[in-house]
């Protein structure tokens, strides 16, 4: 989240206290700068190919929100504040009490492709068939596809006053100008995660992951924009720039080699966390917030997340309403609620990802001043530049199909 997470295109994340026993996560984060808006401006989403249309011209299903006070939300694992003792999501419970809407929350998403491929036949059917969800969360590059295919419903922004709290740098992404069909949920980094005690040393670079004593104990992300993005940077290629097919394939060859040599145990979506929890893997290419959640859940401070010396990647995930939803206004109420700065800060404090909501940093100061200064939640432009963090550039439809097919062949998807 987990969110697993996510992944693929631009942004970031951080920490608070674990729901269990108020375990503080402030010790997980070092100093840092504020200026979140400046940080995200420095690595704003790359421009996706033109969508060639929007979903606004579609015939929408009848909205029954007024009589059916429910909303069904599909998200990534460990991507919402959770109380281990009560087995509930505190902010979601508060939403239900405030609005009288019953919310069903499902950790359905392991990676973008697998979840979209599962629901795509229903969304594309004529007429579309209900997928039993009113909100789903996809990374920028997949959100671009979904908007382009007109598989989401437009937002009534006039009914969503908190939407104006979206960071200015995220308001005019090219796959959804003016944010008429989506709102950023969270952003985050991909980098190296490992267990310091089990590994027995610091891991600073991708080369460190391929050490002989770690063979078969490494997991990497199935989101190729993160895994290959890191490998490309190690090879001196900027994934946010106009890299060539040959450069992409050189990174692909490196991952293929590491799989065949036995260095990489698994290529997974959010499920990679299970390998880390079980001890089958002790290091890998991971998403930032997941490692902090793992640290809190296992009460094991030896789990560490670092940006590789050669650089990390950045992505954003987006809330959208599927074309089949019959509870559109309930879904918009939910999205608007999570753009309240106080609520957004509470979520960010738990999930440890970069928060896209203006005012959340000030609210975080009330929760934990150290967290409010964390570069993993509120990164500055200088920090992002220093760490060489890049977004993976948008691919043309032809590149997307070609590269996705090549990646699937290598990882066996």
Query: Which residue reads 């890998």 in tokens?
Result: 284
- Strand positions, DSSP E, 226-302: 264-268, 283-287
- Dihedral over Cα of 60, 62, 66, 71: its sign: negative
Residues 6+ apart with CB under 8 A from 376: 12, 13, 14, 15, 29, 32, 189, 288, 289, 352, 354
- In tens, the pLDDT along 295-351 reads 888 889 999 999 999 999 988 999 999 999 999 999 999 999 999 999 999 999 998
Quick check: 295 and 28 in contact, CB under 8 A?
Answer: yes
- In tens, the pLDDT along 213-259 reads 999 999 999 999 999 999 999 999 999 999 999 999 999 999 999 99
Please tell me the pTM assigned to this model: 0.80
- Burial of residue 398, with CB atoms counted within 10 A of its CB: 0-12 exposed, 13-18 middle, 19 or more buried: exposed
pLDDT of 2 > 80? The answer is no
- Dihedral over Cα of 30, 36, 41, 46: its sign: positive
Element (H, E) at 122: helix 112-124
Helix/strand/coil for 266: strand
Instruction: Quickly state the pLDDT bin for 359 (edges 50, 70, 90).
Output: very high
- In tens, the pLDDT along 107-166 reads 999 889 999 999 999 999 999 999 999 999 999 999 999 998 999 999 999 999 999 999
Element (H, E) at 274: helix 272-278
Report d(CA 291, CA 284) in Å as an integer: 11
- CA torsion 283→288→289→290, rounded to 10°? -30
Q: Tell me the average pLDDT across 20-48.
A: 39
Report d(CA 405, CA 408) in Å as an integer: 5
CA dist list (Å): 176 to 45, 179, 220, 278, 355: 12, 5, 30, 40, 19
Whether residue 127 is preceded by a cis peptide bond, meaning omega within 30 degrees of 0, is: yes
Percent helix, strand and coil across the chain, each to the nearest 5 = 40, 20, 40
């Amino acid at each position: 989240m987990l969110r697993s997470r996510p992944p693929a295109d631009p942004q970031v994340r951080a920490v608070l206290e674990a729901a269990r026993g108020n375990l503080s996560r402030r010790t997980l984060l070092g100093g840092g700068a504020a200026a979140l808006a400046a940080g995200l401006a420095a690595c704003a989403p790359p421009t996706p190919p033109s969508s060639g249309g929007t979903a606004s011209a579609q015939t929408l299903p009848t909205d029954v929100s007024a009589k059916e006070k429910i909303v069904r939300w599909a998200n990534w694992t460990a991507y919402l504040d959770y109380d281990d003792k009560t087995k509930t999501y505190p902010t979601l419970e508060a939403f239900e009490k405030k609005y009288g809407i019953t919310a069903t929350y499902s950790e359905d998403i392991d990676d973008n492709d697998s979840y979209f491929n599962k629901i795509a036949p229903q969304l594309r059917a004529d007429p579309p068939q209900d997928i039993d969800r009113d909100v789903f969360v996809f990374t920028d590059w997949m959100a671009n596809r979904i908007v382009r295919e007109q598989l989401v419903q437009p937002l009534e922004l006039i009914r969503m006053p908190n939407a104006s709290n979206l960071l200015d740098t995220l308001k005019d992404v090219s796959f959804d100008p003016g944010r008429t069909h989506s709102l950023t949920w969270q952003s985050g980094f991909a980098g190296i995660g490992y267990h310091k005690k089990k590994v027995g040393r610091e891991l600073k670079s991708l080369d460190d992951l391929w050490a002989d004593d770690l063979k078969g104990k490494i997991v990497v992300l199935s989101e190729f924009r993160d895994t290959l993005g890191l490998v490309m940077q190690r090879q001196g290629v900027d994934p946010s720039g106009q890299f060539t097919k040959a450069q992409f394939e050189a990174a692909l060859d490196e991952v293929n080699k590491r799989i065949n040599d036995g260095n990489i145990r698994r290529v997974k979506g959010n499920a990679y966390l299970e390998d880390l929890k079980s001890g089958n893997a002790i290091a890998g290419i991971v998403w930032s917030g997941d490692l902090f959640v793992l640290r809190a859940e296992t009460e094991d401070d030896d789990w560490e997340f670092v940006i590789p010396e050669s650089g990390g990647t950045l992505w954003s995930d987006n809330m959208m309403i599927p074309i089949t939803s019959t509870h559109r206004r309930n879904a918009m109420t939910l999205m608007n609620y999570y753009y309240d700065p106080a609520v957004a800060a509470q979520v960010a404090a738990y999930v440890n990802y970069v928060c896209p909501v203006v005012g959340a940093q000030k609210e975080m100061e009330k929760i934990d001043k150290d967290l409010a200064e964390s570069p993993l939640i509120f990164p500055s432009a200088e920090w992002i530049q220093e760490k060489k963090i890049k977004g993976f550039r948008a691919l043309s439809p032809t590149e997307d199909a070609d590269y996705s097919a090549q990646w699937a062949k290598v990882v066996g998807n």
